[in-house]
Amino acid sequence: MKNFIYIVSLIMLTGLAACSNKMETTIKQENSYLKIDQQVKNEKLAVNTEGKEKKDVIWLKEKALYQFEAVDENFEYNVFLFAEDEQSQMMEENSDKGKKGNQLFTGHYSLYLAEKDSTFAYKQLVLNDNHLLTFNSSLVQFYPVNLGKETVITVIQQEEGVLTRPSLYVINDGEINKILIDEDLETILGTEIKTINQKFIQTAHLNGENEWKFTTWGFGKESMTLFKQDETKLEGQVGKDWYNLWSEKKEHYFPFLNLELSSEVIEKAKQGIPLGSPYPIGTNISNIKKSNPHYLEEGVNGEVHFVTYPEMTYYFDGTTGIVNAVSIPGERMKTTLANVKKLFGNPKQEKNINEGKRAIYMADKYSIEVLADKMGNVTSVNLRRK
């Protein structure tokens, strides 16, 4: 019996030793992989210096026309715009480049890239040295646009009239590279390119004299391209008013396609939660404004108080401030009343209004109101307490 116990114990000890060796081998392999990953990161250069002209960073900080900080996924940088042959002059009369009295700077400009807190900056080859560039000190023509962990470097040049031509760049593998852009982005209205939640950028365009276009773009780092997320065209005074509102503050943007209707809309509506909003009906408007102070407009229409954001309008009681209804702009869904009916079935009520239609669906204590134009395109989806 003692021999049997001894044999069993020996087998167990042998098994534990084998498991211990296996665990030790696994840990060594994992540590090896971590060391390789760290080695790869250490070997990755912040700035590719090979064959590039360099300038002292302190000197550039004094001499460069413009400069700002930038980032990519791994490093922080300083970016400089500098021309050896820079010339400046005051405008004597109004022209496409600016107004009388504006100061213009002209030269064969180059971009210089330096890792943050480093001694030297290195000339990049993305700007064509054969082309003269002009910058108006009264306009914003060189600036960063932050998209998550990337900084898009924006260079704007004046075109005819109010149109400008943007060139966009991003830091990749220690160098500044040009982003390939769609032909619809070859010219924009004004000099501003907006960032939305650091995920998208948005541009405004003027087609002819009476059509405004708002285009929203995403960025693909691997392909170094901008892709069109959404586009909306507005005509006449409506388009002009929206552009004025868009231009008023950098936080203002035009609503774009970022919502998809689903069967969950009804279930959320039963709880008073509107599609695409974290704030249910019953929230105090002061809390919403405190959380997001960048609303487009606040006012009173008749006896109805409202606050409008690009993505939502909140209607509230003027005395208590309690939100009792919300409205989602149709531009966020880009769908039709016919598609809504396919998803939700026939509405409880439907009638013609103002050259369009209104369909109402019930959700317990709440109602969902879908408004559509005469073409059947949804213009807004409203949630309100019955």
**CATH code for position 311:** 3.40.33.10
150 and 190 in a single domain? The answer is: no
pLDDT, one tens digit per residue, over 139-180 is 999 999 999 899 999 999 998 888 999 999 999 999 999 999
- Asked if residue 19 belongs to a domain, the reply is no
pLDDT band for position 1 (cuts 50, 70, 90):
very low
List CB contacts of 194: < 8 A, sequence separation 6 or more. 201, 202, 203, 246, 250, 252, 253
pLDDT band for position 27 (cuts 50, 70, 90):
very low
The DSSP code for 333 is T
Which residue's entry shows tokens 């409506």? Answer: 238
List CB contacts of 115: < 8 A, sequence separation 6 or more. 46, 47, 75, 76, 77, 78
151 and 200 in a single domain? The answer is: no
Q: What is the pTM of this model?
A: 0.83
163 and 197 in a single domain? The answer is: no
294 and 227 in a single domain? The answer is: no
The predicted pLDDT at position 2 comes to: 39
Query: Is residue 35 pLDDT above 90, yes or no?
Result: no
381 and 298 in a single domain? The answer is: yes
Query: Given 229, 251, 273, which residue is the final one in a domain?
Result: 251
Q: Which domain holds residue 342?
A: 264-385
pLDDT, one tens digit per residue, over 75-90 is 999 999 999 999 999 9
Greatest alpha-carbon pair distance for the chain in Å reads 112
- Asked if residue 51 belongs to a domain, the reply is yes
Query: Is residue 370 pLDDT above 80, yes or no?
Result: yes
In the chain, the number of structural domains is 3
34 CB burial (10 A radius; 0-12, 13-18, 19+): exposed
- Asked if residue 293 belongs to a domain, the reply is yes
Can you tell me the distance from the alpha carbon of 113 to that of 368, in angstroms, rounded to the nearest whole number? 53
The predicted pLDDT at position 34 comes to: 41
159 and 221 in a single domain? The answer is: no
297 and 241 in a single domain? The answer is: no
Average pLDDT of the segment spanning 127-145: 91
Query: Given 251, 276, 301, which residue is the final one in a domain?
Result: 251
- Asked if residue 58 belongs to a domain, the reply is yes
